[in-house]
Structure 1
Amino acid sequence: MKAIVQYEYGSPDVLAFADVETPRPAAGEVLVRVQAASVNARDWHVLRGDPYVARPSADLGWRRPNVTIRGTDFAGRVEAVGPAVTGVQIGSEVYGEAPRAFAEYVAVPQDRVAAKPATLGFEEAAALPLAANTALTGLRDAAKVEAGQQVLINGAAGGVGTFAIQLGKALGATVTAVCSTRNVELVSSLGADDVVDYTTSDFSRLDRRYDVVLDLVGNRSLTALRRVLVRRGTLVLSGGGLYGGGSVFGPLGLIIRGQLSAPFVSQRVVVFDAVPSSANLTTLREYAEAGRLTPVLDRTYPLSAAAEAIRYVEAGHARGKVVISV
């Protein structure tokens, strides 16, 4: 099969479009014929082995990546099932989150795959898993957003942010979106009740207070982020930001400082891990089929041009999601 492979850290230039062995599903796994995949900030962080402190993880290695096929999100059809798999039929249209998704086939644990939203095509469905799960976990589980609360999303026009606006509204919150001038109309169309254009206003200096701040960027200090919270508000920090800390700590620098300060401040400072699960994928499917969650697709690239897709996302100007058609 064809896949996007990486044998050393570096720029997108180190990626190759190559022939590799088609995986076989192990016990508890399904083999999916990938129709579409999507790019996340995580992909270029892994590509560069950045930040260095994350290299002991399962995907990264000190000198070279442990997982050599890139990609995480996918949508496609079930080609085969391994032993002990139940409830999944060959030919079913599915979507999910698992390593090695930038390929014609991917073997996925059953608990990381779910039926594709019937209202979405493969490219739209592939945009959901990591980004929408991050938004769902951050707002519903980490922040415990309730109806009537005021929620601010810093980085609202990106992959996670566009989903966070819609899920915040679905949870009953009043949502303020922070974005650039060119994205004001976009975030408003997704349901944002208020928009702060960061090219003309610094949200951390405005006389407004929020119950929850979801920071997806890492371009403000902890002091600035806490300044806009009510006394018992919640600051939720995501590790997927584009900025903050350089190649040693990257966005983890702000997260580490947040964890250290948490016991000493009145506001909650929460760092969360958006664990992939079929349960959350099912929830996202239900929101999508109810018309409450719509992916925003910026650009689509063929699998052979995945390096260019990652380069575009790394530049930091993508609106919503960038998708790879397989």
Structure 2
Amino acid sequence: MKAVIQDRYCSADELEIREVDQPVPKPDQVLVRVHAASVNAKDWHLMHGDPKLMRISMGLRGPKVKIRGNDFAGRVEAVGSEVKGLHPGDEVFGETDGTFAEYACPRAAAVAPKPPGLSFEQAAAIPVAGCTALIGLRDVAGVRSGQTILINGASGGVGTFAVQLAKVYGLDVTAVCRTRNTDMVRSLGADHVVDYSQEDFTRSGRRYDVVLDLVGNKSLGEFRSVLTPTGTLVLSGGGTYNGGTFFGPMSLFFQGRAVGRFVRQRVLELPAVVTTEHLTVLGELAESGKVLPVVDRTYPFAEIPEAIRYLEVEHARAKVVITV
């Protein structure tokens, strides 16, 4: 099968499309023929080995997982001996390592039926970004109807899902984005929009019950300054602004863990763990039209390096999708 391979930490130009062996599913996995995948910030972080501190787990000289990509939508070709409820021919979507390939082997616990009303490309845009937003709002922050929330980075992949989910949960939403994306986030339901090129949200005087940071471009003190006295700050790990290329977003995490013990405000980290339950919730919301993936651009398989470069350099709106 064809796959996008990375032997060492590198730029998008150095990624290679090669023929490799088709994977074989383990007992708890399914073999999926990938019809579409999508690009996440995680892909270019892993491509560069950034932040460098994470190379301890990712691989010191090159990534342990050689095939990039995590999101997918496709058809089940085979199932492992322990898998229940999934069968060859089923249309599914989910998350696993190595989806920039013709076949992938996700765990059944990270797979769900594809919503019938969505294309493979739309479904592939959901897993990592959608589940990250859902976990951040529902599971980590525990949002409640009537609360106010500021979403920093509202026009990105996670942000566009977060704006829509926040409205589903009955929140008053302030979305922070760049000028060209203000109309888009309004169309997703944002009640207030802050153009960060014209206004600094930390100087507005407004306070929020929840701040979801998807960018990492402010200090911990600045983020806390826009929270109510008992508000919740959720840090997602976006960006490298505060910790440079060595610590990256881990710098904010370390600070948050230290400060969070001594203040009434909650400072929490956002784990991005895709499960069938999360995917099912998002699939039902997508099928009902309440939360829909926003796709900026679609690229063919042969142009995956260009798709990653576009996400990294051009600050893509919402999701960039690959047709395999």
TM-score (norm 2): 0.98
Between 111-120 and 153-162, report the one with greater CA deviation: 111-120
The AA in structure 1 aligned to 2:44 is W
Deviation (angstroms), 1:243:
3.6
Q: Does residue 1:101 correspond to 2:99, yes or no?
A: yes
How large is the RMSD of aligned CA atoms in angstroms?
Answer: 1.0
What are the within-5 Å matches in structure 2 for residues 1-326 of structure 1? 1-57=1-57, 60-241=58-239, 243-326=241-324
Provide, for residues 153-204 of structure 1, a one-character-per-residue CA deviation record: whole Å limited to 9, x for no partner: 0000000000000001111111110011111100000000110111111000
Deviation (angstroms), 1:64:
1.1
SS in 2 for 1:108: coil
Contact kept, 8 Å, 1:75 with 1:123, in 2: the verdict is: yes
SS in 2 for 1:17: strand
Between 241-250 and 285-294, report the one with greater CA deviation: 241-250
Contact kept, 8 Å, 1:211 with 1:230, in 2: the verdict is: yes
Provide, for residues 226-264 of structure 1, a one-character-per-residue CA deviation record: whole Å limited to 9, x for no partner: 111100000000013364322101122112211111112
Q: Structure 1: which 5+ runs fail to align?
A: none
2-side partners of 1:103 and 1:208: how far apart?
A: 46
Distance change >3 Å, CA 114–CA 242, structure 1 → 2 = farther
The AA in structure 2 aligned to 1:113 is V
Q: Structure 2: which 5+ runs fail to align?
A: none
Deviation (angstroms), 1:316:
4.8
Provide, for residues 28-76 of structure 1, a one-character-per-residue CA deviation record: whole Å limited to 9, x for no partner: 110000000000000000001111111122xx10011100000000000
Percent identical residues? 58
2-side partners of 1:92 and 1:242: how far apart?
A: 40
TM-score (norm 1): 0.98
2-side partners of 1:16 and 1:50: how far apart?
A: 20
Contact kept, 8 Å, 1:42 with 1:240, in 2: the verdict is: no
Deviation (angstroms), 1:266:
1.9
Contact kept, 8 Å, 2:240 with 2:247, in 1: the verdict is: no
The AA in structure 2 aligned to 1:56 is I
Distance change >3 Å, CA 28–CA 282, structure 1 → 2 = same
Provide, for residues 9-35 of structure 1, a one-character-per-residue CA deviation record: whole Å limited to 9, x for no partner: 011122101111001111111000000
SS in 1 for 2:18: strand
1-side partners of 2:38 and 2:155: how far apart?
A: 16
2-side partners of 1:243 and 1:225: how far apart?
A: 14
Contact kept, 8 Å, 1:170 with 1:292, in 2: the verdict is: yes
How many pairs align? 324
The AA in structure 2 aligned to 1:13 is D
Deviation (angstroms), 1:151:
0.5
Contact kept, 8 Å, 1:75 with 1:94, in 2: the verdict is: yes
Contact kept, 8 Å, 1:8 with 1:14, in 2: the verdict is: no
Deviation (angstroms), 1:284:
0.6
Contact kept, 8 Å, 2:213 with 2:238, in 1: the verdict is: no
